[in-house]
Amino acid sequence: MKRYRNGEVWDFEHEMQLRGVEREVILGLDGGTTNTVCVCMPFADRLPDPLPVLARAVAGCSNHNSVGETAARETLEEVMADVLSKSGSTRSAVRAVCLAVSGVNHPTDQQRILNWLRDIFPSHVELFVQNDAVAALASGTMGKLHGCVLIAGTGTIAYGFTEDGREARASGAGPILGDWGSGYGISARALTAVIRAHDGRGPDTTLTCSVLQAIDLSSPDELIGWTYADPSWARIAALVPVVVSCAEAGDQVANEILLDAVQELASSVKAVVQRLGLCGQEGRDPFPLVMVGGVLEANMRWDIGREVIRCISMDFPGVLPILPKLRIHS
Amino acid sequence: MKRYRNGEVWDFEHEMQLRGVEREVILGLDGGTTNTVCVCMPFADRLPDPLPVLARAVAGCSNHNSVGETAARETLEEVMADVLSKSGSTRSAVRAVCLAVSGVNHPTDQQRILNWLRDIFPSHVELFVQNDAVAALASGTMGKLHGCVLIAGTGTIAYGFTEDGREARASGAGPILGDWGSGYGISARALTAVIRAHDGRGPDTTLTCSVLQAIDLSSPDELIGWTYADPSWARIAALVPVVVSCAEAGDQVANEILLDAVQELASSVKAVVQRLGLCGQEGRDPFPLVMVGGVLEANMRWDIGREVIRCISMDFPGVLPILPKLRIHS
């Protein structure tokens, strides 16, 4: 059982005193493109409310499409070791592991992570690997997989389930493949607007001053170097609040970027709702829409989440927006 | 003088028999995002036509924004060593080196490459480092830096010079910053169209079949993994001929992608021409426009280059398109 860095993240287990029979625990992990949160909870037949969290650990990006396979796996392994160590447990106490990770887009992604978890944990441990959207939906519906979820953080995805178990998704394809409503998409369009204004290909915008100030550059000429020096998606996405501020202050370019993002996000949800028929034959049936992620939750005066709901409810008046109560992200 | 991989690319110099006084040579290099070509020519006060090329060497991408600093420098050093070795010369025979490299966007980029060339070549060697657009312009105007050049290959840039030495550029900002008329931009939009059709967020398109076939995938689900497995810009840009074929066969989505690309490319040129006043006060003065790169030179039935010229000449009827006769790319 050879692990990365020779498995030293698990060294704490040798040092831990064995205290007879260990309490059984489960691990739940929410892996995003900006950060990854893992909690350790006591195993129980049903989840009490509030959840009794024994320990919580946080790490960086675990989306393999953003940081590469090796870095993503190391992050996942480290955060699981960290949370077990904090809770005073070892891997032999683990009853089940549920990983909900962004970047799990295809059965092969799922299988790759499962194989690798199988190497880490004893064979009796139950393993679950899903796209993080599945966990986000469950977090808003208290565990029931029915309805639709929209995540818009650094990345974006819409995911839905019918009561009889059919599922569908839209977006979640990353920055190259048109996730224009994501935090990354909004920020990349803002950076592009700065370049275009500088070139004389686009209108002047207050984004120029605000963006340069936010990232401590003195001229748009320096933006190209800044952008490609570090390809991390989260670093780009961090500019969303700058775009929102400019739009709130009346900048037309920033405003259009946000309006377009709203259309993009709404269209992802609509595509999922339509394909699954969540809205019923007449298009008016109620269905839950769980909304998660920094782009939707910022609640500024220019409220992207509110506008997305408005846009969806024009086509599907039965939409029931839910901002999850259960959060493992702080 | 410590070089990458301990400088073994220059080992041939030790093995080469010294044949008394070496013939003086100059090195000219065109570094693109797909490939890099270096030629070695005898030094002469003026360039004869045709150019007496002693040797020619080809390597991959030397744009540091695409492949990173280290890989770009290694490529540049290797291709220069290769061409000198082929021409039977050593570095002590070199009189001047002119590097025209994509990704040189800021004086700091230029200085970094100059410093590093200084380490490689003896101190008497004259060194020139420019954006590859400068060499492309000169290649169309037989060395005179006047007029405008549009490159559209894997990346795109428009660059212009006035007779009195003022210069301006537009685009050349890479895929994240809105070079939508580039080969990469066209292909990324085609991939996005496939994902959108698959999600139900966009119209059906024959791009789905054609793109999947071209990259040997069986379902759009696999596109995300394919895209992020290798972030090389050139790999994505290689799909342009697929988009052109679909547009020629009547696909509306592909057609719109190409029409948008034409607008983007034309707008870059127009911005440069306007800022430099190349078109004169009335906007009707003649000026040369050198057009270079796979996107403009493919000359299919759907001829992107021809459409770009048509679009520019509506605003600037004095545009004189030039397809360079001098080519160091084959």
Which residues in chain B come in under a pLDDT of 70?
1-6, 17-21, 325-330
The answer to whether residue B301 is domain-embedded is: yes
Per-residue pLDDT at B18: 60
Q: Do A191 and B176 touch (CB under 8 A)?
A: yes
This prediction's pTM: 0.88
* The pLDDT value given to residue B143: 82
Is the CB of A106 less than 8 angstroms away from the CB of B224?
yes
pLDDT tens, residue by residue, A291-329? 999 999 877 899 999 999 999 999 999 999 998 765 544
In the block, tokens 């904090």 appear at: A86
Q: Which chain A residue has the Cα nearest residue B266?
A: A201
pLDDT at A4 over 80: no
Q: Residue B263 domain-assigned?
A: yes
| Same domain flag for B126 and B153 | no
If you average pLDDT over residues A262-273, what whole number do you get?
98
* Residue A156 contacts B, CB cutoff 8 Å: no
Q: Which domain holds residue B84?
A: 4-130
- Are A121 and A184 in the same domain? no
Residues B78 and B191 in one domain: no
pLDDT for residue B325 = 62
Q: Which of residues 64-83 of B touch A (CB under 8 A)?
A: 64-66
Nearest CA in chain B to A190: B177
B268 in the same domain as B168: yes
Residues of B in contact with A192 (CB under 8 A): 173, 176-178
What pLDDT, on a 0 to 100 scale, did the predictor assign at position B328?
Answer: 46
pLDDT at B20: 63
- Work out the minimum CA distance from B124 to partner chain A, whole angstroms: 31
- Rounded to an integer, what distance in angstroms lies between the CA atom of residue B28 and that of residue B18? 24
pLDDT score for A328: 46
Query: Is A193 or A33 the better-scoring residue by pLDDT?
Result: A193
SS (H, E, C) chain B: CCCHHHHHHHCHHHHCCCCCCCCCEEEEEEECCCCEEEEEEECCCCCCCCCCCCEEEEECCCCHHHHCHHHHHHHHHHHHHHHHHHCCCCHHHEEEEEEEECCCCCHHHHHHHHHHHHHHCCCCCEEEEECHHHHHHHHHCCCCCCEEEEEECCCEEEEEECCCCCEEEEECCCHHHCCCCCHHHHHHHHHHHHHHHHHCCCCCCCHHHHHHHHCCCCCHHHHHHHHHHCCCHHHHHCCHHHHHHHHHCCCHHHHHHHHHHHHHHHHHHHHHHHHHCCCCCCCCCCEEEEEECHHHHCCCCCCHHHHHHHHHHHHCCCEEEECCCCCCCC
What is the H or E stretch that residue A257 is in? helix A252-276
Whole-number Å distance between alpha carbons of A319 and A147 = 9
Q: Which of B176, B217, B227, B235 to mutate to test the interface with A (most CBs of A within 10 A)?
A: B176
Q: Is residue B250 part of a domain?
A: yes
**A106 and A179 belong to one structural domain:** no
For the cut 90, the answer to whether the pLDDT of residue A73 exceeds it is: yes
B98, B27 contact by CB (below 8 A): yes
In a domain, B60, yes or no: yes
CATH for A74: 3.30.420.40
pLDDT of residue A3: 46
Q: Same domain, yes or no, for A122 and A249? A: no
The answer on B317 and B183 residing in a single domain is yes
Q: Which tens digit of pLDDT belongs to each residue from A156-187?
A: 999 999 999 999 999 999 999 999 999 999 99
Predicted confidence at residue A67, as pLDDT, reads: 87
Least CB-CB distance to A201: which of B196, B199, B271? B271
Bridge-based pairing of strands B287-292 and B147-152 is parallel
Q: Are residues B161 and B304 in the same domain?
A: yes
Region A106-112: mean pLDDT is: 92
In the predicted model, what is the mean pLDDT of residues A35-63?
Answer: 89
- Residues from chain B that touch A106, judged by Cβ atoms under 8 A, are 221-222, 224-225
Whether the per-residue pLDDT at A1 is higher than 50: the answer is no
Q: What percent of chain A has pLDDT over 70?
A: 95
Which of B130, B164, B195 is the C-terminal boundary of a domain? B130
Q: Are residues B168 and B315 in the same domain?
A: yes
Q: Contact B199/A170, CB-based, under 8 Å?
A: yes
Are B98 and B189 found together in one domain? no
pLDDT of residue B279: 94
What mean pLDDT is predicted for residues A273-295? 95
Q: Is residue B66 part of a domain?
A: yes
Residue B135 located in a structural domain: no
Question: What's the pLDDT score for residue A274?
Answer: 96
Compare CB distances from A191 to B177, B195, B274 and report the shortest one's residue: B177
Q: Are B165 and B172 in contact (CB under 8 A)?
A: no
Residue A58 forms part of a structural domain = yes
Per-residue model confidence (pLDDT) at position B300: 83
Q: Does A141 touch chain B (CB under 8 A)?
A: no
The answer, yes or no, to whether residue A6 has pLDDT greater than 60, is no
Chain A CB contacts of B192 under 8 Å are 173, 176-178
pLDDT of residue A330: 39
Domains in chain A, number:
2
A186 and B70 Cβ atoms separated by less than 8 Å: no
Per-residue pLDDT at A257 exceeds 60: yes
Q: What is the pLDDT of residues A219-235, one digit of tens each?
A: 998 999 999 998 789 99
A126 & A165 share domain: no
Q: Quick one: average pLDDT of A13-32?
A: 82
Identify which has the larger pLDDT, B169 or A67.
B169
> Does residue B251 sit within a domain?
yes
**Higher local confidence (pLDDT), A66 or B246:** B246
The closest CB to that of A176, out of B177, B196, B227, belongs to: B227
**Where does a domain end: B95, B130, B165?**
B130
pLDDT > 80? residue A18: no
Same domain as A14, residue A86: yes
3-class SS string, B276-313: HCCCCCCCCCCEEEEEECHHHHCCCCCCHHHHHHHHHH
Say whether the ipTM exceeds 0.90.
no
pLDDT tens per residue across span B247-299: 999 999 999 999 999 999 999 999 999 999 999 999 999 999 999 999 998 77
**β-bridge partners, B169:** B159
pLDDT of residue B2: 38
Q: Nearest Cβ partner of B196 from A65, A178, A221?
A: A178
